[in-house]
A and B are shown apart, each in its own frame.
Chain A
Amino acid sequence: MMLTREEVLQIAKLASLELADDEVEKFRQQLSDVLELFKKIDDVDLKNIEETSQVTGLENVMREDEVLPSECSREELLENAPRKNENSIIVPKVIEDKQ
């Protein structure tokens, strides 16, 4: 299983990662090597085998919907935002201007 350069770029796009040129080739090789490891799962007959996602069998853990005070204030939470203006986080404009 050998990934193509285009496939690597497509995966990067889906993952919202900008890659440098040398990274594309390096990851093409390395990801292909790892995918090779996965081949052996095709040796097993998996017909009628259930999937396991929650290993301890817990399901639908419910609790009362109570309002509780947050441990952190708005100011504290905004403290870590890279760009902010008073009580807001600044992001680039996402709506195009109408010409």
Chain B
Amino acid sequence: MNLYELTIAEAAKLLAEKKITSVELTQAILDRIEKVDEKIKAYICVTKDKALEQAKESDKRRAAGKSLGKLDGIPIAIKDLLCTKGVETTAASNILKGFVPCYNATVVQKLEDAGAVILGKANLDAFAHGSSTENSDFFTTKNPWDTTRVPGGSSGGSAAAVAADLCLGAIGTDTGGSIRQPASLCGVVGLKPTFGRVSRYGVIAMASSLDVIGPIAKTAEDAAIMMEVIAGRDRLDSTTLIDKVPEYSSEIGKEIKGLKVGVPKEYFVVSSSGVRTSTTHTYSGMDEDVEKAIKSAIEKLKSLGAEIIEISLPHADYGMAVYYILQPAEVSSNLSRYDGIKYGFSISASSHQLPACLPAGKASSLREVYTKSRGKGFGAEAKRRIMLGTYVLSAGYYDAYYKKAMQLRTLVKKDFEDAFEKVDVIVTPVSPTPAFKIGEKSDDPVQMYLSDVYTVPINPAGVPAVSVPAGFATRDGKKLPVGMQVIGPQLSEGRILNVAHQFEKAININNVKPSL
């Protein structure tokens, strides 16, 4: 077996038994990146020397009997939305090209404190705005299962890196599906934790009432191991929860016999004649292969002893509208900090400081520094969202859009609370379709937004959800992964990871890998 194919749990065991070293493991991954990432383009930058240095330190600690735990010596990729001290952090945007933070995001610091080896920065849709990485201002990441297709997004670089064995695990962020959807499209596990469970300090903000940070991994167990390290209260992020962080990896391994699994009737619309119809536009787009895979996944859960219960999320259909009002509103506010003055691209900088793709210009006033730096520095999707958010927050429209969305959010959240009175977890698809072709939706924001229909209502409700591989759809003779979403009440990460783990063991498709 190649070292790069190991899971975190397997590698941690071999490291502990001194059968491999972190330097060997890290070198194997770096060689793999060298060989394969040309095709996948998962990384914006690979910090090779630093990674090998960290691996060496890890081996020294272990030799001295001072190992820091399961992540000590494990190579991890970081979405380029998290600040890394001394390493360029771009959010995959031209406006932040060249930005080098002088501090680590809390999550990066916690990983380093646990001995993890940081491999580099993974590609994303600029500022995490998107579902395909096509909105990256630099390049599009390819899906390892079919390189003519998108890996999903926005954490597409992270998910593709995990799927292509270019790291053992990765960090992603999720505002409306940005961990779960790429995990689903790339056939790996992605956990969106409870709002406030993981610190956002040092993470470039998108929509502050929705953003969460979480792991993308090869297995549910690996995601649990990473969560144990990154979760917890942080004095630098006042939205973090004070609740004690459980040992997630010991919460998995329980039988799911008697577990009550809810299936929302709004998502699967089947007429009495057995013909699939849809009463609403929003859910009419579920691909037949996705539906088949999820239905057979539900049967599998049943065979493991789970009780399947039909539930209703009456406001699910409004989740999209709520999300696409609140999110751009918060984006427009968070992105107002990019002004061409303090850091990032500026029209007023001298030309030698500018990236080649952005021409120098002239600004005659402070206001022009703002408007021109932002006009040139932001890509199309960032501009769309800033403008949409500015519109829904502007005088005369606040009550019509923003206030109503905040009220509807209460109802969306209550739907989940009511459902969790009756069931332990809820199961849905992650994405209505398998990975789509590069370019297929890139100039149609509405179609692109609809690819998040099953993931976006989760964020306004603040509950955790995990995406776990459930099967495949075949397109053009290629296998494309289909993911199942397991949703739980707030702070039930251990429970949903356990369901994902039990399911994974039962369907046993982890060994099916993309051929590269």
Q: Please list the residues of chain A having a beta carbon within 8 angstroms of any beta carbon in chain B.
A: 8, 11-12, 14-20, 23, 26-27, 30-31, 33-38, 40-42, 44, 46, 49-56, 58, 61, 63, 71-73, 76-77, 79-83, 89, 91-94
A sample of 15 cross-chain residue pairs with beta-carbon separation below 8 angstroms, ordered by A number, consists of A15-B332, A27-B387, A44-B411, A46-B407, A51-B406, A52-B413, A52-B460, A53-B209, A55-B460, A56-B239, A58-B241, A61-B239, A76-B102, A83-B348, A91-B366
Identify A89's interface contact among B325, B342, B460, B490, CB under 8 A: B342
Note all chain A residues with C-beta closer than 8 A to B371: 16-18
Any chain A CB within 8 A of the CB of B73? Answer: no
- Assembly CA distance A27 to B378 (angstroms): 14
Q: Give the CA-CA distance A70 to B506 in the complex, in Å.
A: 50
Q: Is the CB of B344 within 8 A of A80?
A: yes
User: Which residues from 396 to 412 on chain B have a C-beta closer than 8 Å to any C-beta of chain A?
Assistant: 401, 403-411
Question: What chain B residues lie within 8 Å of A15 (beta carbons)?
Answer: 332, 336, 374, 386-387, 390
Which residues in window 281-305 of B have CB below 8 A to A?
none
Tell me the B93-108 residues at the A interface (CB within 8 Å).
98-100, 102-103
Q: How far is the CB of A93 from chain B (nearest CB, A)?
A: 8
Task: Name the one of B103, B195, B345, B370 contacting A16, with C-beta atoms under 8 angstroms.
Answer: B370
Q: Does B349 have its Cβ within 8 Å of any Cβ on chain A? A: yes
Q: How far is the CA of A50 from the CA of B403 in the complex (A)?
A: 10
Please state if B446 and A82 are interface contacts (CB–CB under 8 Å): no
Highest count of chain A CB atoms <10 Å: which of B194, B349, B353, B409:
B409
Residues of A near B317 (CB, < 8 A) are 40
B341 at the interface (CB under 8 A from A): yes
B321 touches which of A40, A92, A93, A94 (Cβ 8 Å): A40
How far is A81 from B350 in the complex, measured between Cα atoms in Å?
A: 12
Are B387 and A56 neighbours in the complex by a CB distance under 8 Å?
A: no
Hey, which bits of chain B sit against chain A, CB under 8 A? 98-100, 102-103, 194-196, 209, 235, 238-239, 241, 315, 317-318, 320-322, 324-325, 332, 336, 339-346, 348-350, 353, 363-372, 374-376, 378, 380, 383-384, 386-388, 390-391, 394, 401, 403-411, 413, 445-446, 449, 460-462, 490
Closest to A8 in B: B387
A82 and B348 within 8 A (CB): yes
Q: Of B343, B365, B409, which contacts A52 at CB under 8 A?
A: B409
Residue contact B366 to A94, C-beta cutoff 8 Å: yes
Query: Which residues of chain B come closer than 8 Å to A8, judged between CB atoms?
Result: 387
Assembled-state Cα–Cα distance A77/B394 (Å): 33
A18 touches B413 (CB 8 A): no
Question: What 6 pairs across the A-B complex have the smallest Cβ distances?
Answer: A18-B375, A55-B462, A82-B346, A51-B406, A80-B343, A72-B102
Least CB separation from B340: chain A residue: A82
Q: Are A92 and B383 in contact (CB under 8 A)?
A: no
Given contacts A35-B388, A61-B239, A92-B365, 7 further A-B contacts (CB under 8 A): A31-B384, A37-B320, A46-B407, A46-B408, A50-B410, A80-B98, A92-B348
